[in-house]
Amino acid sequence: MLYGAMKVSIGGPLKMIFRPWVEGLENVPAEGAAILASNHLSFSDSFFLPAVLDRKVTFIAKAEYFTTPGVKGRLTAAFFKGVGQLPVDRSGARGAGEAAVRSGMEVLERGELFGIYPEGTRSPDGRLYRGKPGGLARVALATGAPVIPVAMIDTEKIQPPGQVMPKVMRPGIRIGKPLDFSRYQGMEHDRFVLRAVTDEVMYEIMKLSGQEYVDIYATAAKRQIADAAKAEKEAEKAARAALAQAEKDQAKKEKAEEQ
């Protein structure tokens, strides 16, 4: 009931204001379990996709959204529960993967839609990164649920990092045909099979989204970007210090010449 209220109060205005366009909506089954595997460009992805679907879709979200103390924390937790998100503790990579698998299986066993971002985190630069095999592939093989590739288009342009007010523009959503991995049933512990399944899904997402594919994990890319920014900042600091020292030396030289 809370999900329905949130869908009306949030999904309705989102559709009216941003008018997202959708292709392939007929690929989402009217009933029964299915996995929606999407690229991840923006925080808003988890709102735009459910807004255009008639059925409830459940995503996983980091546990901090549900455990922050205070009034704001309780409101945040209620909001994320209302929009169909489940808390997952991501403090340990292995533990987070297991929690995601369990959560996904529970949702699918109820015959519902489970949403997951195979990249594991938002893209830092709009490109598509390597999918993590631990969650998506294991859930798909353990449950036999079809995997429906989804591409979010331009959602990162609506509210880039650091921008307070969102830009009103039309994002897009492309939904591909369901992928059947029943041929791998019972092989959810074979790492080569998990990688093959994940790569096949990522390839379909790449075709739908038109994104450039980068064969590293998004988390590694974020570290590289952070390290590069830090190195650039340190280089600028060193350059300013060197310039200041040079000016100081020049002033000292000119003063000595005057004497």
Compute the distance between CA of residue 89 and CA of residue 46 in angstroms, rounded to an integer. 18
Of 65-74, 96-105, 154-163, 228-237, which range is least confident? 65-74
Compute the distance between CA of residue 98 and CA of residue 74 in angstroms, rounded to an integer. 26
CB atoms within 10 A of CB 159: 15
Across-strand partners of 21? 172
pLDDT at position 48: 92
Q: What average pLDDT does the segment 3-19 reach?
A: 79
Residue type, 134: G
Q: What average pLDDT does the segment 51-68 reach?
A: 79
Residue 246 CA to its chain's centroid (Å):
47
pLDDT at position 239: 85
pLDDT at position 65: 61
**Whole-Å CA distances, 234 to 50, 65, 167, 222, 228:** 43, 33, 33, 18, 10
Q: What is the pLDDT of residues 154-213, one digit of tens each?
A: 999 998 877 778 899 999 999 999 999 999 988 989 999 999 999 999 999 999 999 999
What average pLDDT does the chain have?
86
CB 98 within 8 A of CB 138: no
pLDDT > 90? residue 222: no
DSSP secondary structure, the chain, as one string: -HHHHHIIIIIHHHHHHH--EEE-GGGS-SSS-EEEEE----TTHHHHHHHH-SS-EEEEEETHHHH--HHHHHHHHHHHHHTTEEEE--SSHHHHHHHHHHHHHHHHHTT-EEEE-TTSS--SSS-EEPPPTTTHHHHHHHH---EEEEEEESGGGTS-TT-SSPP----EEEE-PPB--GGGTT-TT-HHHHHHHHHHHHHHHHHHH-PPEESS-HHHHHHHHHHHHHHHHHHHHHHHHHHHHHHHHHHHHHHHHH-
pLDDT at position 24: 98
Q: Which pLDDT band, with edges at 50, 70 and 90, does 77 fall under? A: low
Residue 248 CA to its chain's centroid (Å):
50
pLDDT at position 67: 65
**Percent of the chain clearing pLDDT 70 (strictly above):** 84
pLDDT at position 83: 63
